[in-house]
Amino acid sequence: MPKIFAHRFWSDARHYQIAALATLLTYNLGWLDFGARPLNSAFGIASALATQVLCSRAFGLPQIDLRSPLITGLSLSLLLRADEAWVHALAGIIGIGSKFLLRIDGKHVFNPAGFAIVVLLASPAGVWISPGQWGSAVWFAALLSFLAILVLHAARRSDVAIFFLGSHAALLVARALWLGDPLIIPLHQMQSGSLLIFAFFMISDPRTTPDSRLGRFIFALSVAGFAHWLAFFIQMRPALYVALIALSPCILLLDRILPAARFSWTAPAPTPTAPQGVSQ
């Protein structure tokens, strides 16, 4: 039993994601200030967890799972900025509430943290997005940590993160070459902590990505292309988040055109070996 429990625990990507995000937030609050405030973060995380509990009970769910709302609360703490702590609490409510209210065929349409960010950016709440400049050493350590999650096969559908980062980088390099800019410019643009969180925890959310690998590639390329247009032709700063939320409903169409197995967070546990002489 302990071996089966350990397999189920470590095969769930959320445990790795929570550890990575919590480490980043702790490092921010304790040693390197890149914008997160303790009270705001506490309000955002607590409201996400509380909303999950209330909605789970209201919708009659047999179990209350706090891992996904914890990831949402941690992501909002690292990405969203506001002067008032209650705005972070509102972000947690909006994000988790969208999981329960905006669903089609058992699948929520929008990434909770991304949806909350876009809604609040469009409101008069006075929010902004973290610049995401953590310093090259912290950024590189975070990149290696997030890639390690993929290598360990913990997030089996996170190939979309690689698809998106490759597409985004290619567009930035192509723009630099077209304008005659040095390649250090797109390299600097890629070294953003906010970009890493967006790629590995938002656009790659298994519950809001296409079921098929080809569908995930098309979606990642579309988000990168639309965000590039919004950022450089419309001069929109939160282009990534707007592009993600605007194109998320297209996932329903991609799933119909390119059907595949629906994602499950936990991999099947290994079947215990039967003793000799006992048929299975």
pLDDT one-digit tens code per residue, 126-167 = 999 987 778 777 888 888 888 777 765 555 667 899 999 999
* The token pair that represents 69 in the structure block: 């709302």
Is the pTM higher than 0.75? yes
Whether the pLDDT of residue 277 is over 60: the answer is no
The residues facing 129 across adjacent strands are: 80
Domain boundaries, the chain: 2-257
Closest CA to 111 of 98, 130, 129: 98
The candidate with the shortest Cα–Cα distance to 208, out of 250, 267, 147, is: 250
DSSP designation for 237: T
Give residue-wise pLDDT tens across range 200-222: 889 988 889 999 999 999 999 99
Give residue 51's pLDDT.
98
How many C-beta atoms surround the C-beta of residue 151 within 10 A? 8
- Using alpha carbons, select from 102, 146, 154, 151 the residue that is nearest to residue 263: 154
Which tens digit of pLDDT belongs to each residue from 22-60? Answer: 988 998 888 776 667 899 999 999 999 999 999 999 999
Distance from chain centroid for Cα 256: 23
Phi, psi for 103 (deg, rounded to 5): -130, 145
